[in-house]
Structure 1
Amino acid sequence: MSTDFVPISFSRNSAEPAVKLAKAGDVFTLTMTAAPDNRFNPTFVKSINDALDVVEDWALKSHRGEPCALITTSDSDKFYSNGLDIVYLFQSSDTWFVADQFLKLLKRMLLFPVITVAAVNGHAFAGGLLFALCHDYRILRADKGLLSLNEIDLPSSLLPGMAWIPRAKLPPTTVHPLIFGPKRYGGQAAADAGLVDAIAPADQLLTVANKWAEKGAPKVAHAGPIVSELKKDMYADVVAKLEIRTEVDVRKKMQAKM
C-alpha cells in the first residue's frame, strides 16, 4: 500500500516554483509551473530533474515493489511547453546547455523507469513537443493545444538526437509535414497522425491521463528496473544520437530574429 506523500515544489534561484510534484494513489503528477510557457533553461531543467529524482527513488529504491507511474502536465491554460528558452540561449555564453542538459533530460524521460504519460493541456512546440514525445503515452486536450516542430521557422537545426525522437515515435507520413511544413496538429488530427494516443475535454484531461497511468503502474511493481531496460532496447538508436555532444550557439543563426 502506498505511503503518504507530501506535495513538493522545486525551484532554483527564484522564489517562484518551476515544478510541483504530487502523488495520488500510485500515480505521481509533475506539474510544470515556469510561467509563462515552460521554456527549458538551466533553472527549469534542474527543477524537473529534482522532481524526477524523487519519483525514481520512490519507484526503485524507497518503495521497491509498489506500482508507480508518472504524469506530466502544465498549470498554464495555454501552454504545455514552448520549447527551449531562446532568450536565455541568445543572451548566455553557455553553448553546451542543449547537449549537456536538455538532451540529457530528453534521454532521461525516454528511458524513465516507470510508465510516463504527458497530459498535454496546451501548445507543445519544438523542444516542448520533443519532451512530450519522450513519454510513453500522450493525451491531448481536445479543444486547445497545437503540436509542432517549428525549427524551420525559427530557424534552428534539429540535433541528431532531436531528429531521431520523432523518427522513432511517429509514422513517417507524419514526420515530414511536421518538420518541413511545419504542420501544426491539434485535436483529432493529432490523434489521427499518431502524435497522441487519445484526446480528452479539458475538464477530463487529467482523469483520462490518470487512467492510462494506472494501467502502467503495476508494471513497475512487477518488473522494476526492467522497465527502463526495455526502453533502452527499444530506443537504442535514439539514445546513441542523444549522447552525441554538440556545441550549439543560436546567436550565429538567430541574430536577425532577435
Structure 2
Amino acid sequence: MNPLVETFQHGDIREIRMARPPVNALDTALCRALIDALATAIGDDVHGIVLSGGERVFSGGLDVPFLLSHGDDRAALLDSWNAFFGVARALAESRVPVAAAITGHAPAGGCVMALCCDYRVMARSADPARPFAIGLNETQVGLVAPDGIQQLMRRVVGPHRAELLLVSGALVPAERAFEIGMVDELADAIDVVPRAIAWLQSLLKLPQQPMLQTRTLARADVVEALQPENIQLERFIESWHSPDTQAALQAMVARLKK
C-alpha cells in the first residue's frame, strides 16, 4: 500500500483517504498515488468510491512550495501539473459513482477534485466562528483557473455566480456552499464519510445498468471539461512564470512559513 493514501472497504464501496499530513498538499507523488488507488479500485470491481481527506483539511490544494522548487525546469513542472489533472480526469471518468467526503477545508486543487466527484458531503465546523471553506481561490495566489476548471464551477453554481466566485477567488464557508449548490450535503465531521457511503448505497439499490448509463450521459460535460483543449496546460505553464504570478506565489509561501 502506498503510504500517501489509505484505503478502507465498506462492503462494495471503497474509501480512498489522502494521507499526506499536515494538509494533504498535492505533490506529484500524492497525485500519482491517488491515480493508482482509483485504478486499483476500478480493477477490483468496487461499486462505488469515497474520496476523503484529513481531519479539518480535505486537501490544501497543490503543494506550491514543491512546485516552486522546480524552478525553471519546465519538464518537471509540466509533469507535476499533468499528474494533478490526471487525478481530476480519473475522478471524472470513473465508471462507478464517486462521493467526496470533504472533511474540512478544500481550497483550489482540493475543490477541483471535489467538483469532479458525483456528490459532495462537507463537514460543518465545530466552531461556527471558524467555518470550513471551499472554493477556487486561484486569482488570490496569482493563477488563472483553466476554462475546463471554470466549467466545473459553472456546472454546479450557475454562470453568473461562478463568475463572481472565480474572479474574486472567494473561499465559500460550508453553509453558504450548501446554499448555492457547491456541495450537496452538510454533516458533522464524524458523519461526513458515513453520509457519503449512505448516498452511494442509495444508488446501489437501483437497477444498475440504467443508473450507470444515465450517469454517464449526465456527466459527459464533466469529462469534456477536462479534455486537454479545455485545460491548455502549455498556456497555463507559460502564465505560471509571469512576474505577477511568481510574486503572488512567493508571497503565499512566505505567509505559510510564519
TM-score, normalised via structure 2 length: 0.82
- Mapping of 1:21-40 within 5 angstroms? 21-40=7-26
Question: Match of 1:22, SS?
Answer: strand
Find the aligned partners of 2:173 and 2:248 in 1 and give their Cα distance. 30
Name the structure 1 match of 2:246. Answer: 254
2:150/2:162 contact within 8 Å kept: no
State how many pairs are aligned. Answer: 236
Name the structure 2 match of 1:124. Answer: 106
Give 1:127's aligned amino acid.
Answer: G
2:91 pairs with 1:109:
yes
- Mapping of 1:192-231 within 5 angstroms? 192-218=179-205, 221-222=208-209, 226=213, 229-230=216-217
Change in Cα spacing, 1:34 to 1:91, as seen in structure 2 (3 Å) is same
- Mapping of 1:66-77 within 5 angstroms? 68-74=47-53, 76-77=54-55
Change in Cα spacing, 1:227 to 1:31, as seen in structure 2 (3 Å) is farther
Q: Which runs of 5+ in 2 are unaligned?
A: 126-130, 251-258
- Mapping of 1:128-167 within 5 angstroms? 128-143=110-125, 144-167=131-154
Name the structure 2 match of 1:64. Answer: none
Find the aligned partners of 1:218 and 1:112 in 2 and give their Cα distance. 19
Question: Match of 2:144, SS?
Answer: coil
2:48 pairs with 1:80:
no
Identity %: 20
1:114/1:227 contact within 8 Å kept: no
Per-residue CA distance 1:181-215 (angstroms, 9 max, x = gap): 33322232111111100101112212211111112
Name the structure 1 match of 2:158. Answer: 171
Give 2:136's aligned amino acid.
Answer: L
Q: Which runs of 5+ in 1 are unaligned?
A: 1-8, 11-16, 60-66
CA RMSD of aligned residues (A): 2.4
2:101/2:122 contact within 8 Å kept: yes
* Greater helix fraction, Structure 1 or Structure 2: 2
Name the structure 1 match of 2:256. Answer: none
Give 2:246's aligned amino acid.
Answer: M
2:107/2:133 contact within 8 Å kept: yes
TM-score, normalised via structure 1 length: 0.82
